[in-house]
A and B are shown apart, each in its own frame.
Chain A
């Protein structure tokens, strides 16, 4: 179990780093898809089957297709980096801050007192249990997300429509 977790974590981290260092946006997007798949498998290990399925359908499917569509629609010709040493100071400073964040989290996490895990019920994380919670305790937020999605769709259409009336 832990070996699978370490393999998936290594996949997620390496593909995440590749997203940042690839010059070509299409390759970045494809590495991000790999990152999402690795995270979906980790969600399965953490007893979140429904969320893992949603992760693949919504993130790796819908959102990344949207990204690839826009990348290919824009068709950027000039390369991004004007020389490898451009903004080198910012890159070093940003990487230093990121390392500091990771070090701080590791320092606090391994001093944390973890309560013992409760026994696992067989339906934990299943679609049925998520749906029951979604349509009882979280009914109002669920309905509000539908309004949010409607607003997002209308906003995207108004922003991206052509100027010709």
Chain B
């Protein structure tokens, strides 16, 4: 009846790996951002699985704070992407080298 914690952890690691691959191989900054959100969600899944295993609410509280930080991060990050697009005309990360010396 109960789902073993190992299933949650394997799903979580698979989602994290998919997100990491997306960050590594995509060039569009918005899709890289979405993959970061997917990695945050994978970690949230681990936290909730352990919270369920130990019957402790602390893991769920940490997930709550991760979500708040993710929301703040998305607001600032998308504003940055918008400014880069306005100045450079595209948001493909391998064409942005203004910080390269």
Residues of A in contact with B (beta carbons under 8 Å apart) = 1-2, 5, 9, 12-13, 16-17, 19-20, 25, 28-29, 32, 35-36, 39, 42-43, 45-48, 50-51, 54-55, 58-59, 62-63, 66-67, 70-71, 73-74, 76, 78, 80-81, 87, 90-91, 94-95, 97-99, 101-102, 105-106, 109-110, 112, 114-115, 117-121, 124-125, 129-130, 133-134, 137-138, 141, 145, 148-149, 151-153, 155-157, 159-160
Contact of B64 (CB < 8 Å), options: A51, A117, A148: A51
Contact of A54 (CB < 8 Å), options: B33, B67, B82: B67
Cβ distance B30 to chain A, nearest Cβ, rounded Å: 5
B53, A66: Cβ atoms closer than 8 Å: no
B-side binding surface: helix, strand, loop or mixed?
Answer: helix
Cβ–Cβ < 8 Å partners of B4 in chain A: 114
A94, B21: Cβ atoms closer than 8 Å: yes
Can you give 24 A-B contacts (C-beta < 8 A)? Answer: A17-B18, A20-B18, A20-B25, A20-B26, A28-B34, A35-B38, A43-B45, A46-B8, A48-B51, A66-B74, A74-B82, A76-B91, A80-B26, A94-B24, A95-B25, A105-B9, A109-B10, A115-B53, A117-B52, A124-B55, A138-B65, A148-B69, A152-B71, A159-B80
Number of residues of chain B lying within 8 A (CB) of chain A? 70
Cβ distance B15 to chain A, nearest Cβ, rounded Å: 6
Cβ distance A59 to chain B, nearest Cβ, rounded Å: 7
Cβ distance B63 to chain A, nearest Cβ, rounded Å: 5
Cβ–Cβ < 8 Å partners of B6 in chain A: 109-110, 112, 114
